[in-house]
A and B are shown apart, each in its own frame.
Chain A
Amino acid sequence: MNPIPEQKIHDTLANANLQLAIYDATARLMHKRRTALDNPLAADFEAWREQANRIKRHTIENLDHYLEQLEQNLVHNGGKVIWARDATEAADFILKLAKDNNALRLVKSKSMTTEEIDLNERLEHHRLDVVETDLGEYILQLAHQRPYHIVAPALHMTRYQVADIFTERLGVAREVVIEKQTMIARAKLREKFLTADIGITGANFLIADSGAVVVVENEGNARLSSSAPRIQIAVAGLEKLIPRAQDLAIFLKILGRSATGQPLTVYTSFLAGPRRAGEIDGPEQFYLVLVDNGRTRVLADRDKRQALYCIRCGACLNHCPVYRKIGGHNYPWVYSGPIGAILSPLFHGVTEDPWLPSASSLCGACGEVCPVKIEIPKILLELRNDVVKAKQREGSGKLERWAFRIWAFFMRHPKLYEMAGMAAPAILPEASGGAWIQSVALPLRIGPLARWLSQRDLPPPAARSFRQQWRERRRQA
């Protein structure tokens, strides 16, 4: 059971530049989404959400059927499906494939699933040259950092920081103009694309009835990664399925708008197998690595399996007032924000980071914007209950458990409740004129009271409670 990373959170909050970067970047993304939804073209957005939710629910409830259908169709297209139970199995397959084909360089487009299974580290460990080709991911790879955000991985970095990283890692002259930085990355990456043996992409959707992988992006790097190298690998979580090609329209409409406010991303690539006879381009070999890595565990949880509907748009992060303060690196796993706060415990169990489902004010903004209508606040509450039960089994968290037992006892006994209420004014002396309390005597400076006062003033206890005043009012009447 890991404790709350209080020091790390404190450092994030104390970093004024970082706070500004997170707040502004998420505000921009929120504004773009709002603008896209206010457009008459998106007048049916609520209906799209409802339909997307229904399609995802149907797919997840019948995942076994659609997975088999996907494999059949993908094999029919000339590809191969590799079923990876966990990160090791996924990485081992890619390592063996690279070895068998004398491949030394791999280019990658953005993929949270490969982040999830630490693919880069595993491949680099075997001296393979793995290159991230999404600009944000490229910057992070150079800086040896994890993505800060599902959609905008380098959201927390300023162009000045990027200038430093480029100078230090690429040996180029310092450049702070964003367009010119992009050109530096483009020149470096173009050479990598042309000399890579293997291209790795993620997948936004897997279409069962077509055996196709769909990748959406804005930079063209996923299209290059999937077409230039002779071997193509798509790595995808097995929840990425949708049943039919015709279902895709609705998901493309909600994904772009929710993520970046775009009606459609710049590129939408359909990868359906290797080059066929008579075609002039495309890879010679095509593989889809389907990653479980805990997904079947989530699938077994009837109440919370809806977490698997997630299409990784990042809208819940942008709208989360907690993410907007603590950023992406204080969450324990690659998935941050509200969706991370439910995916991490669902994949790894609630005991690893029992604080995580509690790191939310339960404001509900995440559930309100989720394009596939995952009930994130409800799942957070259920996970908190799971944490309480797990702690009880392990015999930990005694103080909080007893506090709530005693609290409940008082709340069931109105006389005790009233007496406890009358004790408060005796302990906390009322300041003159009903002013709010800034600090309390040293012996009281503990626990929740101290933590409240660390940030805010405390209301003075009412001299007479509502019920006391009510009785008096009734007597006088």
Chain B
Amino acid sequence: MPKRVSLFVTCVVDQLFPRAGMAMADVLERLGYQLDFPEAQTCCGQPAFNSGFWDQAREVAAHFLDVFEDAECIVVPSGSCTAMITHHFAGIMEADPALLARARRIESRVYEFSRFLTEVAGVEDVGARFPHTVTYHDSCHALRELKIKSGPRQLLSAVSGLTLKEMDAAEECCGFGGTFSVKFDEVSGAMARTKIESIHRTGAEYVVSIDSSCLMQLQGALSRAGSPVRALHLSEVLASR
């Protein structure tokens, strides 16, 4: 089991939701891990990759490899960015065998935060207390690319005082989709509103996810609709006491 963990907090958490990153650091430190935050980190390259700009995505992905190459274990507060590294780096590096080999070497050392907790650290109860009703949103890339479904729910269920209520459309996309959210803004907005109807039907006070980009979409739509429901990263719930 690694003692030392490198954090890749992702550009979205770094710039927009630092609280989710700090909460992740809190949880990991409480579990006894030594944390390292390589300062040269930026982004995984996903925005360019999903938009078809694979040359630019490859440049940024190569930068990620430069920064994290020597890390023993990398933990990421995002299913989508994790999947970019573990599932898509190789695809855009096929034409460059040296780069491809470096990407292949790092894949097995990158973990989405909840998966790191349940499968590497082997914990379910992190000693958190959060006396509220929450519902969990399956982010698409975590669910369908990383096959993460039960882990976050187990972690939430172990939180003292927390009531987990499943929504009927837990596996339905929130409508974010990166640049999709602004290229097809009306469709994206309609998808978000369908999702928050499902959230509201649970009566939950919080919607929790492991991807800050989904949470940005959901909180944006909740806030626009004047809803009292708040969107929270799993790390923020697990860091609560």
Contact = CB atoms under 8 A, between A and B. Distances in A.
A407 interface: yes
B224 A466 contact: no
A455 B63 contact: no
B37 A451 contact: no
Contacts of B144: 363-365, 367-368
A9 B178 CA distance: 19
Contact of A361 (B43, B177, B221): B177
Contact of B17 (A6, A404, A462): A462
Interface stretch (B47-55, B96-104, B115-123, B128-136): B47-55
Given A456-B224, A459-B219, A321 B191 contact: yes
Interface string A246-270: 0000000000000000000000000
Contacts of A412: 42, 59-60, 63
A448 to B, nearest CB: 4
B22 interface: yes
A326 interface: yes
B224 A438 contact: yes
Q: Which secondary structure dominates where chain A touches chain B?
A: helix
Given A321-B172, A457-B220, A466-B21, A364 B190 contact: no
B189 interface: yes
Interface in A435-477: 435-436, 438, 447-448, 451-452, 454-459, 461-462, 464-467, 469-470, 473
Interface residues of A, number: 65
Given A368-B144, A455-B186, A408 B9 contact: no
Interface string B184-211: 1111111110100000000000000000
11 contacts: A358-B51, A361-B175, A364-B143, A367-B144, A408-B59, A451-B183, A455-B220, A457-B224, A459-B216, A464-B18, A473-B25
Interface of B: 9, 11, 13-19, 21-22, 25, 37, 39-43, 45, 47-54, 56-57, 59-60, 63, 88, 91, 140-141, 143-145, 171-173, 175-192, 194, 216-217, 219-221, 223-224
A-B pairs with lowest CB-CB distance, top 5: A455-B189, A361-B177, A456-B220, A384-B52, A363-B173
Given A358-B180, A407-B47, A411-B45, 8 more contacts: A9-B184, A13-B190, A322-B184, A414-B41, A455-B188, A466-B13, A466-B22, A467-B37
